[in-house]
Amino acid sequence: MPKMKTKSSVKKRFKLTATGKVRATQAGKQHGMIKRTNKQIRDLRGTTILKDCDARIVKKFMPYG
């Protein structure tokens, strides 16, 4: 059997934690920062853990982790 292909876009945007959760960068930081409050900008730093319903979709595209 041939190997399953991993989606290249998912490879670049998501990482799996040691416990198998999906880590992603925060959304909403690409442009339009002038209209966001300082608190919003602060809270959008770093990464976040995806909810289970979204993580299931992402994991389908990363068959080998």
* β-sheet bridge partners, residue 24: 14, 48
pLDDT in tens, 16-47: 999 999 999 999 999 999 999 999 999 999 99
pLDDT in tens, 42-63: 999 999 999 999 999 999 999 8
Quick one: pLDDT band at residue 65, thresholds 50, 70, 90? confident
* β-sheet bridge partners, residue 15: 23
Q: Where are the domains of the chain?
A: 11-60
Q: Which CATH architecture describes the domain 11-60?
A: Irregular (4.10)
From CA 64, how far away is CA 61, in angstroms rounded?
Answer: 9
Mapped onto helix, strand or coil, the DSSP state of residue 65 is coil
Read off the pTM. 0.81
